[in-house]
Structure 1
């Protein structure tokens, strides 16, 4: 049988993947991991001494990163292009305003925020227009930070899972990701934060089902893929019916907004 995805031009497949999450917004909210507090603290270090910092969660999705940003003395706003994701966000973070917009056309005035944070989404952006917009809405010395939660495929059985799941959401694929050089920003810094997530075979399978390469498949292909993932996980000696530790890595990259000329 011919894989219909293989016949799509790469730009069309990429666009379809980028738009695929809204249909599964509730599942995304439940089955995607949270970001470790240490990674978020590292991203915000350049503005940690600012009084009542203003934070933007860009491409906020269902609010997975937003939940780590909200706290006393912080003002948080979110921007998300997909209406279904915004609706799920509003249910889960009702106290945080979420605006319709894109990374390339932000609905905020100049110098409106002290930090722009992007969780799991920067690779979908058009980089140079997105960097120009981030620079526009950031105050001088503010920080742009991007994060990715990925499977730690340095662990043998996780590498096997990545192969079975046919997913690119893993450390080996994202290890080279970062921020392009831009005149408005300092050279980027980078850090990695290893952590584990207690999961079951079923919940890991559901997480894989929220990855874009699974979402854009036909229903039959998607079901077959997830059956293979579940069978692989259940066959592991410590998988079976109970919980186990899923090794993850959060890759974080940050750059500071240079002084305006």
Structure 2
């Protein structure tokens, strides 16, 4: 994702938009880039400043970036593009990118090619990203024209309690009514029992990383 900007030499400046608490920001810095973080939530940015000291952090959105014209070499969005208005965000990111700069869009999504994952997603929530992918690649607009995609399959080992904590940490569960939460808990219990997830037993939760890249045309 960052190879083209790294190959240009020096220390490229990369904007992490929708940075949250800085998970992707840390990767950007570790790759040898300078970073600037943007997020609409000031509390998230407070946590980011602790996690990644010295990285400038600003309140803003993909549609309204607090960055100068043609000031960054790349803009990355991790797990966030399905929340933005793509025409306005493309135009705004095009404004802050230098000519030839990179826009990168990244998601880690549960792999629905596994039947039990499809069942899990039917119980909890497929999420906005999977719903977006049902219609094809992420939508982009001018000045960007074509997306290149790479995919990686991987998994994490999880126990019953870890899967339960994962579900209960998501906004759809937190904001659900008590009846909806009870329904989710019952369906999860049935699924976990069928999978034999008892005590210390674990299962591999499969994911696919989908990474898309496009560039701003050079003059």
3-state secondary structure, aligned to 2:137: coil
- Summarize deviations over 1:129-184 as a string: whole Å, max 9, x none: 11111111111111101111111010111111111223336757635453434331
TM-score by length of 1: 0.74
How many residue pairs get matched?
217
Structure 1 gap ranges (5+)? 1-42
TM-score by length of 2: 0.87
RMSD between aligned alpha carbons?
2.3
Change (3 A) 1:113 1:223: farther
Change (3 A) 1:186 1:252: same
Structure 2 gap ranges (5+)? none
Structure 1 or 2: more strand by fraction: 2
Please list, as runs of the form range in 1=range in 2, the aligned pairs for 1:157-172 lying within 5 A after superposition: 157-168=116-127
Quick one: distance in 2 between partners of 1:225 and 1:217?
A: 10
Quick one: distance in 2 between partners of 1:249 and 1:47?
A: 24
Quick one: distance in 2 between partners of 1:81 and 1:54?
A: 20
Deviation at 1:186, TM superposition (A): 3.7
Change (3 A) 1:107 1:172: closer
Quick one: distance in 2 between partners of 1:211 and 1:175?
A: 21
Quick one: distance in 2 between partners of 1:192 and 1:84?
A: 32
2:153 is the alignment partner of 1:194: yes
Please list, as runs of the form range in 1=range in 2, the aligned pairs for 1:102-117 lying within 5 A after superposition: 102-117=61-76
2:4 to 46, 68, 81: 46
Counterpart of 1:251 in structure 2 is: 210
Counterpart of 1:236 in structure 2 is: 195
Deviation at 1:107, TM superposition (A): 0.4
Deviation at 1:223, TM superposition (A): 5.2
- Summarize deviations over 1:54-100 as a string: whole Å, max 9, x none: 11110111222222212263101110001232233233223322211
Please list, as runs of the form range in 1=range in 2, the aligned pairs for 1:1-261 lying within 5 A after superposition: 43-50=1-8, 51-71=10-30, 73-168=32-127, 174=133, 176-219=135-178, 221-222=180-181, 224-226=183-185, 228-237=187-196, 239-242=197-200, 243-260=202-219
Quick one: distance in 2 between partners of 1:123 and 1:173?
A: 7
3-state secondary structure, aligned to 2:163: helix
Change (3 A) 1:171 1:104: closer
Contact 2:132–2:138 (CA under 8 A) maintained in structure 1: no
Structure 1's consecutive aligned runs of 4 or more residues displaced over 4 angstroms after TM superposition are 169-173
Contact 2:20–2:44 (CA under 8 A) maintained in structure 1: yes
